[in-house]
Structure 1
Amino acid sequence: MTGIEQDGDETDTIEQMHPDRVGHILSAGEKKPVRVYLEDGEITVPIKPVKERRGPETVTVPCACFDAIVDMVDIADAGETIYARFHLPESEWCRLGLHKHWEEDNAEDWRCERIIEVWLSRFKNASSGEYDSDRYSSPVPSDSPTVTIYEEHDFEINSPPAPFDRPDLEFDVATAESVSNYHNARTCHTLGSVKTVELLDSIDEWPEKRDVSPPNGRYKIPSKHPQVDFDGVDPLPIDRNILAAVHAINRHAKRLNEEADRAYKIGEGAEAKVKSTQKKALYDAKTIAVHRLTKSAPDAVDLRLHGLYEDVEMYCFRFSTDYSFHQPRDAVDDELLDAVGWNIYNEEAREIDFQPSTDVSNLQLSLSEALGVLSSHGIDANDHLQTEVVEDYTFGYRISTIFRIDDDDSRV
């Protein structure tokens, strides 16, 4: 079910408007309410996010019209094209069923707007020459912006412009989460064609914002950092093997972050999400380890505040001459700061030349060995994975994010 009103019969009584007349009304209607009637009294709406490049799964249902605000109008190419955007109230957006595919569990979470676009172009008719130029002046007045802007740029006034083609209504459809062409997260879909546009004095609901709010509970925003109760954690011995393990997962987290960025840039969305998910799990495990290491000997920890770049400040925990670890300020529990005698009001960040390394070739422990060391002390990175499987909808396979512990041939 799309939730669209079955009101298609109404359009039978509406006379079809010349496309040039549509362009004229839109050109004078910016920031004004309009009623847009649809060709054939029907609309084709997406019901599922795009999983493949061929387009979304859709359904065509009766729908005579919708009300909206003309958000903006741009007459471009010396009057050859008109681009306009309709900003829909939430009630109209939902009545048309355009909200439905966003509610699917696999819809990519990106900022969407209740916007329908319309394009009018003269190029097709101009190139074909199959139109009656004598009829051009009838749909619009001579002082219409669609005419005057054309005449300002036309060197042969005796040659009237070609009429606009029938305008289509276009809409950005959500892409399924983790499709390979991640950066093409918006797929343009044609909802239908404009039959008539009518300027209104008012509409029942004036849209106040473009953002589409997901239903309650649709997206669970994970915590940026694990919530650690310093008073309640068990101490973790400060020995070289454990420090080497934390050092290893920290270095691999940086590597995964770099690989995730590279995957996104080449359009490998599923692989990028796997890397990003694993990176966060390793950083979460590191945060817990730092708290537990500090708990074992607060007086032995040398705590500093470093300015890394721009406005980024992090605590630096030095546990030995060979091992120190940075932590975001909001990742550190206040009780830990009290335990080490930290006075935030008396400390200023010291700017350092921060050059994070992603080289894992010279680590004392492999990732799987490091995970094994930490797991034996109750810190399992797999417990911090936001998801254990990522699906690539384009190619139809699933990728595990789970770390393999004590396995030198681990995929990560």
Structure 2
Amino acid sequence: MLDFDMLGLSPTLQAAVKAAGYDTPTPIQNQAIPLALEGHDIMGLAQTGTGKTAAFGLPLVEHLMKMEGRPQPKCVKALVLAPTRELVNQIAEALNLYVKGSKLRVGTVVGGQSINTQIRFLSRGIDILVATPGRLIDLMDRGAVRLDTARFLVLDEADQMLDLGFIHALRKIAPKLGRPRQTMLFSATMPKQMEEIASTYLRNPRRVQVSPPGKAADKITQSIHFLDKGEKVSKLKELLLRHPESLSLVFARTTHGAERLMKQLVADGFDAASIHGNKSQGQRDRAIKGFREGSIKILVATDVAARGIDIPDVRVVYNFDLPDVPDNYVHRIGRTARAGRDGEAVAFCSAEEVGQLKDIEKVMKVSIPVASGDRPEPVKADKPKRGGGGGRGRRPQGGGGGQGMSQGKPRQQRRNKQRRRSAA
């Protein structure tokens, strides 16, 4: 394994790396950094918590330090796109460590903050802009930012951007970027559509992969409790009391469920907070700050935060509700066992969730060890009623009622729009 001083980084950047507390590069950094320094486009596949930010951030800063001149008003030299506000903030935090000792400036634009403030700071130009796609397009539409000077593009957690429906935003943003440019795409999974994105926006990319998609970190100890849905809260409280001083991250499926669970925990004396799409950016920032500093011991979150939290001290991740998308389970539990630490992932499974568990174990190619209870038989969904009756039955077959035939797609579009709004 190489050391950071053997990867081809300049003395200034090596000093910044040392000051940031980095000792030995991770496997994804070992593979990606030398190739990126040579100017290759990169397609990086690695699970969460493997050091992807430094894998693209360090060579990006290295290239920019060698470029002469400050950015012109409204201009950007490098663009980093990420799917959530939390992830944008954490990428910017890491990049600010890397640019110490240089004249490079890092800025962020996300939803939930004053767009006028963002317009003002962009008017001076910025070296590295980290953004959520939605807010960036708002600024582009207002003529507040120019991307034709950008010679570097990074797509971080690109598969989640697909899940949130940001592909249309990417198609609008990418043609505005300057050429020639270097593009780096990092993702935890590689769905078919990702291959299409890579072929469209990357030039002869070098592929680096350090773990198969769907594989959890080796240092995560997993377990599952089979129990009735109504028993989950009491079981969670019982387990939380075993490690009262540890940081625990609890995942719920819905915003309302996360908020309700947080309030139940607080009522019983736990130091808990929540982050989800119905929280303002300020509320989310304060909750994460308190969690990172340890004044909040339990953070209840929805999947909007599954890839936006990088807090090495998280000891246990609880899947209070199993996710509907199997890959999200891997992303969730990847919030623990970070930076070489050990971690624990505990899941609750009711009879209604056995199908989700089966999909998760199929993706991960493992059988999660059972901590308590017996695996129940799956609960079969009620068959939809035929004919009229409130629009919740089977879709009409054939003519008449075209609204019923097409309602699925608009509903999904509305759902994606809400998820994008919550993330950005």
Give the TM-score normalised by structure 2: 0.23
Larger Rg: 1
Structure with the larger strand share: 1
TM-score by length of 1: 0.23
